[in-house]
A and B are shown apart, each in its own frame.
Chain A
Amino acid sequence: MELLTIKNIEKYYGNRSNLTKAIDDISFKVSSGEFVAIMGASGSGKTTLLNCISTIDRVTAGNIFFEGTDVTHLKNKQLNAFRRDKLGFIFQDFNLLDTLTAYENISLALTIQKRPAREIDSAVRKVAEQLGITDVLDKYPYQMSGGQKQRVASARAIVTEPSLVLADEPTGALDSKSAKLLLERMSYLNRELGATIMMVTHDSFTASYTSRVIFIKDGKIFSELSRGDNSRKQFFDRIIDVVTLLGGDVSDAL
């Protein structure tokens, strides 16, 4: 089932004399239950794309259909509700609230949705178990490691059972061990719980955990890879090949 359809979107910055096309006619689809990575170098437009999908930013042209609704035409109030109810966010720098414990940070996502207090405890504990953070629930962010923080942030993103989880460089601030642990958890969420995840990254290793990788260069789709039956290692090699191509000059590649 198609969850997200992106149709010829464009995003321009600047004015007439100095126009930057951050996104230049991109179209693709994401089905429910997919784990998609968007890869590209810095400045390729991948974060802008994520911002447009999450409706934090508005597109200049084109449409984004989410579960059949065109979110580019939503009004402010509806936008808030859309973000709150349909999307979950994971950020590079965790974005946990310092003054709250892990438990409270996770529960906040639910209370913002105005869920009744009695549902909260079971929901938080369930998601904490899935992400292996039950023992840090009563700790404050400053008492946790980076990996724990990011898993708490992930828990906060999925506790509301959103239709789509958007992750912006989730492993960017983690050491390799924590990154691996997080990615395993994320693919577990995707595989076992059917969470649809869309992740922006520039790291091939991170991308190799997904089922599909979309490469972006200068605001355009450069290439797309599907994992198919490949093992993670094989998929990683294929990604590396594309990245080499992506990084080099076109003339170098030819």
Chain B
Amino acid sequence: MLFKLSVRNIRKSIKDYAIYFFTLIVSVAIFYLFSSIEDQEAFRKYISTDPLSGRTIKSFLKGLSIFIAALLGLLIVYANRFLMKRRHKEFAIYLMLGMGKRKISVILFLETLLIGLGSLVVGLIVGVGLSQFMSALVADLFEADLNAYKFVISNSTIARTILYFGVSYLVVMLFNGIIITKCKLINLMQSARRSEKISQKNPWLCVGVFIAAVCALAWSYHKVTHNTLMLRKDELLFCIGLGAVSTLLLFWSVSGLMLRAVMSVRGLYYKGLNTFTFRQISSKINTAVISMTIICLTLFITVCTLSASFAYRGALNKTLRECCPADIEFTMSNYERLKNKDKLEFQPIKEKPDEIIRLSGADKYLRKTEMISVYFETKTNDTQVTYTDILGKYNTEYNSQPYERIQVETNSSPRICSLSDYNKLAELFGSEKLNMEKDEYFIVADERSICPFLDKAAASGTELTFNGRKLKPAFDKHIHGTMELFEAPINCGVLIVDDNLLTDMMPIMFDLFGYFNSSSKDEMREQNKQLDAVVNKWVSQNYPDYKGEAYVESKVKISDNLIGESAMMTFIGLYLGLIFIIICAAVIALKQLSDCTDSTGSYEILRKIGAEENSISRSLFTQTAVFFFLPLLIAVVHSIFGLKICTTIIRTFSSYNIVSSILLTAGIIILIYGGYFILTYFCGRSIIRRKK
């Protein structure tokens, strides 16, 4: 009998509680979708390239998925509360008919069980279906070959999904049991018509709090954007904390203030159903200040996370192009570092990299190569040019930058190259060749914090003493570029001087740059591996005692590392972002719908006193819109400033433009959030239209 009742209840409720089912199914599907990444081909491939960090990532993902499951569990409990609230009358009837509370609990238990099973099955089917799109996305993120695409069903993930959600449903059951045993019959019966108390706030206090909150926000916005890079960590945290508190105060004061403001415009307030609409909004915001603040802040975090992870991803390709102008760099230094780090011991080596490449037979992999000599300040040379000299009078200013980032030790010496070597590379990399007088110099750099100071120093004509000769800057700015393969713009400066100045000096390092024959990534990876092996074998055969550096760095290797890293970042950002939006939207939707249920009576009254259906719907639309978009609006304002910080930070390692990432984020938010908004509006409308 009880089972029959449960089944009937559910069948009856399917339409009523659309949003509850929707939330359950979406939660299960999203959870499966992201947890199944471990079994995606592309991800496995990535993990297998680096087993150690692969394990870390795997356990991190596991932890993350438990955290997400907990969040989704909370959402389900919250959604369930809404479901229960709508059924108070029904419970009252059961109790009046003499059904025991235990029996009602059993009914609820069965219902939760059925709903849980149903939503799990549907959610898993949806999740498995969507995960096929996901695998394409993952393949793209990790830049894997799409041909390896396979239809994957992850059994372990299914098991995990069932376990986590099973636990959530158990909590729901317990929760329902507690509610039922605690509730009083009289409250259940009268739940529909208990008149609400309206708490009024002192308008002057509201104005005061509002002004204080706006000022505090403006101050922290100014603080974080005005001189982002000078900001200390604790200052930043203080600003974020202040921002959060001000947001809370803003919502607190807005509920009272907005009403006052609208009321003072009589023409607007006393027009159609506006009186009702604004009162309703104000009283609802009043009761939801904290949840709205949390939603707003979560949305803010989401916008930032999503934009930043997209931007990080986009910045990467640009970084690679700029920081790795060649496919490989074969570095051969003829010194070895001893235990004492500063002491360099000279150890000449007979063959230079280009000869090694030729002798070892590695040249068959390469199509175009060029070699340069690098000079360095050592004990054997009397050149003492340091960054301090190059920066000249701007040295102090450069050193006074407080924030934590890559910074060159200014009393160290830069690498030195000849002009003709620079031009050789310029031709190889396809950049502009340069000319200068014999007593001139210039600096090649791309590290973002030092560049402006290098420019200032060059513009003010800072002179250097090199090998006893005075040198003037050839240009009034630095030359942007790198003379090594790096994974980020961290070249703090290479000094370029005339060839004749270096003739009596011994190069301490040779750098060979080249391009692979092939242009496909997989072939390059393979060629790189073989080249590495061939060269190492040759060196160890001919110089068994050689302890110096003979190292091949390649663009492929750097990009594999970076892509793995960025794919993980993007993936996690995307994951958290999506989950957060869905949770926010679902919480607002549920709150809004339960409010609709509570105020069905009010809408009935409006209808009775002659309000047209259209204007009632419009009133509901306004209310729903304000609920959805007020937190979003404030979150967007926050994000504008938050993203400014992100942009500034991203700019320090790439000149990537963040706008497209923001647009993409906006698109995702509009899609999910807007979808929830529309769904909520239509569900709400059908709730208030239902005849008693």
Interface residues of A (CB under 8 A from B): 56, 80, 83-85, 87, 89, 91, 93, 95-100, 104, 107-114, 116-118, 120-121, 140-142, 156
B271 touches A100 (CB 8 A): no
B266: chain A residues at CB < 8 Å are 117-118, 120-121
Contacts A141-B195, A142-B198; A91 near B270 (Cβ below 8 A)? no
CB < 8 Å: which of B198, B609, B612 contacts A109? B609
A87: chain B residues at CB < 8 Å are 610
Contacts A89-B608, A112-B609; A97 near B276 (Cβ below 8 A)? yes
**How near does chain A come to B657, taking the closest CB pair, in angstroms?**
48
13 more CB-based (< 8 A) A-B contacts, given A109-B610, A112-B609, A117-B266: A80-B610, A84-B610, A91-B608, A97-B605, A97-B606, A98-B195, A98-B602, A108-B606, A110-B270, A112-B612, A114-B272, A141-B195, A142-B197
A56: chain B residues at CB < 8 Å are 608
How does the 8 Å CB contact mask read for B586-603 relative to A, with 1 for contact and 0 for none?
000000000000000010
A104 touches B279 (CB 8 A): yes
**How near does chain A come to B637, taking the closest CB pair, in angstroms?**
28
Interface residues of B (CB under 8 A from A): 193, 195-198, 266-267, 269-276, 279-280, 282-283, 602, 604-606, 608-613, 615
Bound CA–CA A156/B198 (angstroms): 21
Bound CA–CA A97/B196 (angstroms): 10
B610 touches A100 (CB 8 A): no
Bound CA–CA A111/B279 (angstroms): 15
- Nearest residue, chain A, Cβ from B271: A111
Bound CA–CA A111/B282 (angstroms): 19
Contacts A99-B198, A120-B270; A80 near B612 (Cβ below 8 A)? yes
A112 touches B273 (CB 8 A): yes
Of the listed residues A89, A100, A116, the one surrounded by the most CB atoms of chain B closer than 10 A to its CB is A100
**How near does chain B come to A47, taking the closest CB pair, in angstroms?**
13
- Nearest residue, chain B, Cβ from A112: B611
Contacts A111-B270, A120-B270, A142-B198; A99 near B602 (Cβ below 8 A)? yes
A117: chain B residues at CB < 8 Å are 266-267, 269-271
CB < 8 Å: which of B275, B280, B609, B612 contacts A156? B609
CB < 8 Å: which of B195, B609, B612 contacts A108? B609
Contacts A104-B279, A111-B275; A98 near B611 (Cβ below 8 A)? no
B193: chain A residues at CB < 8 Å are 93
Bound CA–CA A147/B274 (angstroms): 27
**How near does chain B come to A105, taking the closest CB pair, in angstroms?**
9
A99 touches B279 (CB 8 A): yes
Contacts A80-B612, A97-B605, A99-B196; A108 near B271 (Cβ below 8 A)? no
Q: 10 smallest A-B Cβ distances: which pairs?
A: A84-B610, A117-B270, A99-B279, A95-B605, A98-B196, A117-B266, A117-B267, A142-B195, A104-B275, A99-B283
Bound CA–CA A91/B604 (angstroms): 12
A93: chain B residues at CB < 8 Å are 193
- Nearest residue, chain A, Cβ from B605: A95
B602 touches A111 (CB 8 A): no
**How near does chain B come to A39, taking the closest CB pair, in angstroms?**
23
B272: chain A residues at CB < 8 Å are 111-112, 114
Of the listed residues B197, B273, B275, B276, the one surrounded by the most CB atoms of chain A closer than 10 A to its CB is B275
Bound CA–CA A117/B262 (angstroms): 13
List, sorted by A's number, 21 A–B pairs whose CB atoms are closer than 8 Å. Answer: A83-B610, A84-B611, A89-B609, A95-B608, A97-B276, A97-B605, A97-B606, A99-B198, A99-B280, A100-B279, A104-B276, A108-B606, A110-B270, A111-B270, A111-B271, A111-B274, A111-B275, A112-B609, A117-B267, A117-B269, A142-B197
A142 touches B279 (CB 8 A): no
**How near does chain A come to B276, taking the closest CB pair, in angstroms?**
6
A113: chain B residues at CB < 8 Å are 610
**How near does chain A come to B204, taking the closest CB pair, in angstroms?**
17
Contacts A99-B196, A99-B602; A108 near B276 (Cβ below 8 A)? yes
Bound CA–CA A113/B273 (angstroms): 10
**How near does chain B come to A111, taking the closest CB pair, in angstroms?**
5
B273: chain A residues at CB < 8 Å are 108, 111-112
Bound CA–CA A210/B313 (angstroms): 81
**How near does chain A come to B191, taking the closest CB pair, in angstroms?**
14
- Nearest residue, chain B, Cβ from A93: B193
B267: chain A residues at CB < 8 Å are 116-117
A80: chain B residues at CB < 8 Å are 610, 612-613
Bound CA–CA A100/B275 (angstroms): 8
- Nearest residue, chain B, Cβ from A118: B266
A116: chain B residues at CB < 8 Å are 267
**How near does chain B come to A172, taking the closest CB pair, in angstroms?**
14
Bound CA–CA A198/B267 (angstroms): 34
Contacts A100-B276, A100-B279, A117-B266; A112 near B610 (Cβ below 8 A)? yes
- Nearest residue, chain A, Cβ from B598: A98
Bound CA–CA A89/B606 (angstroms): 11
A104: chain B residues at CB < 8 Å are 275-276, 279
A91: chain B residues at CB < 8 Å are 608
CB < 8 Å: which of A118, A121, A140 contacts B198? A140
Bound CA–CA A84/B609 (angstroms): 7
CB < 8 Å: which of A99, A118, A121 contacts B276? A99
Bound CA–CA A107/B266 (angstroms): 12
Contacts A107-B275, A111-B274; A98 near B609 (Cβ below 8 A)? no
Bound CA–CA A98/B600 (angstroms): 12
Bound CA–CA A114/B272 (angstroms): 6
**How near does chain B come to A169, taking the closest CB pair, in angstroms?**
14
**How near does chain B come to A162, taking the closest CB pair, in angstroms?**
10
Bound CA–CA A109/B193 (angstroms): 22
**How near does chain A come to B598, taking the closest CB pair, in angstroms?**
10
Bound CA–CA A140/B200 (angstroms): 11
Bound CA–CA A117/B269 (angstroms): 8
Of the listed residues B273, B274, B610, the one surrounded by the most CB atoms of chain A closer than 10 A to its CB is B610
- Nearest residue, chain B, Cβ from A76: B613
Bound CA–CA A87/B609 (angstroms): 9
A140: chain B residues at CB < 8 Å are 197-198
B195: chain A residues at CB < 8 Å are 98, 141-142
A156: chain B residues at CB < 8 Å are 609
- Nearest residue, chain A, Cβ from B193: A93
A89: chain B residues at CB < 8 Å are 608-609
**How near does chain B come to A216, taking the closest CB pair, in angstroms?**
22
Of the listed residues A85, A96, A104, the one surrounded by the most CB atoms of chain B closer than 10 A to its CB is A104
B276: chain A residues at CB < 8 Å are 97, 99-100, 104, 108
**How near does chain A come to B238, taking the closest CB pair, in angstroms?**
39
A142: chain B residues at CB < 8 Å are 195-198
**How near does chain A come to B613, taking the closest CB pair, in angstroms?**
8
Bound CA–CA A116/B393 (angstroms): 73
**How near does chain B come to A51, taking the closest CB pair, in angstroms?**
11
Bound CA–CA A155/B610 (angstroms): 15
**How near does chain B come to A104, taking the closest CB pair, in angstroms?**
5
- Nearest residue, chain B, Cβ from A156: B609
- Nearest residue, chain A, Cβ from B267: A117
- Nearest residue, chain B, Cβ from A98: B196
Bound CA–CA A112/B272 (angstroms): 5
B609: chain A residues at CB < 8 Å are 89, 95, 108-109, 112, 156
- Nearest residue, chain B, Cβ from A107: B270
A108 touches B197 (CB 8 A): no
Of the listed residues A83, A89, A108, the one surrounded by the most CB atoms of chain B closer than 10 A to its CB is A108
**How near does chain A come to B612, taking the closest CB pair, in angstroms?**
5
**How near does chain A come to B365, taking the closest CB pair, in angstroms?**
77
Bound CA–CA A113/B271 (angstroms): 9
B611: chain A residues at CB < 8 Å are 84, 112
**How near does chain B come to A236, taking the closest CB pair, in angstroms?**
31
**How near does chain B come to A3, taking the closest CB pair, in angstroms?**
18
**How near does chain A come to B311, taking the closest CB pair, in angstroms?**
44
A95: chain B residues at CB < 8 Å are 604-605, 608-609
**How near does chain B come to A127, taking the closest CB pair, in angstroms?**
14
- Nearest residue, chain B, Cβ from A109: B609
- Nearest residue, chain B, Cβ from A142: B195
